[in-house]
Amino acid sequence: MEFDFTSLAFGGEQHIVAWDAKRIGALKPENQQNLAKVLDVFGKKSAVAQGLQTPVTDIHRLRTTDQRLYLYMYRQSTKTVVLGGLKVGTKRLYVRTITADLREIEPICVLDFYVHESCQRRGIGKALFEHFLNTEGCDPASLAYDRPSPKLLAFLGKHYGLQEHVPQSNNYVVFNRYFDLNPASASTSRSQGRLNSRGSAMSTGTPHVHPLHGSRSTPPPVSPSPLLSQTPPVPVPAVPAVQGWPGAGTISTPSTSTVAPPQ
């Protein structure tokens, strides 16, 4: 995906930038408009790739929620090139454990994840995911995944050995290992009998509803885009680990410190 401006992108070897409400709010109006264009294209292409009727990522959602989008983007000559992105945010969910207990949990969730068709299976997704894990100090098993596609399930199995999970009626995937990492406390675990009277697992908290239930499992073919980027730089550079979610002002600064961040 290519865009005819350079003000948002960095040169150098570190290509992943995290965008959240704080960072977006600090942009000049012109740069906010440019970012809105990037997110519009990203959101639409991701939705098409996943068979969603409408995008789940746009600038409004990033400005008004705790969600953050890690974008693999860089400057090339007079253009900004975007290869993919990963959006995460916290949700309150009710999920069944392997023993059918209902648990209320509030994990960081993978909400949108897309790498352009021209460069899938070349390590871009792994680089994005690892950058997010390192930046926020997360374990892949401690996350919830919103309606993961077969490609994402394959990705998680291959890179992190994540496979076993209990099907949930809210279509989030929480791997069984989550419950090893996060044992139930009395206040967060409820008995199966009590909760059967209320029906099956459901998601609550921040509203987040996909327009097509189950649609991610059958993404339609995507025709090559006129916005295709060139071959991505592979291998992807390693990303330094930073513990915790430090906020927009301190994350994903390009390794080329001579480049001023966009305003």
What does the binding site for ligand ACO look like in residue numbers (CB under 6 A)?
Answer: 49-50, 110, 112-115, 120-126, 145-146, 148-149, 151-152, 154-155, 158, 216
Compute the least distance from the CB of residue 168 to ligand ACO, in Å. Answer: 14
Return the number of the residue (72 or 245) whose C-beta is nearest ligand ACO: 72
In angstroms, give the least distance from the CB of 123 to ligand ACO.
Answer: 5
CB of 156 to ligand ACO, least distance (A): 8
Select the residue whose beta carbon is closest to ligand ACO and give its number.
125
- Comparing CB distances to ligand ACO, the nearer of 152 and 239 is 152
Q: Based on CB atoms, which residue is closest to ligand ACO, 131 or 216?
A: 216
Q: Which is nearer to ligand ACO, 20 or 27 (CB)?
A: 20
CB of 237 to ligand ACO, least distance (A): 14
For the bound state, the minimum distance from the C-beta of residue 105 to ligand ACO, rounded and expressed in Å, comes to: 17
**112 vs 136, beta carbon nearer ligand ACO:** 112
Contact 149, 56 (CB under 8 A): no
CB of 25 to ligand ACO, least distance (A): 25
| Residue with smaller CB distance to ligand ACO, 37 or 126 | 126
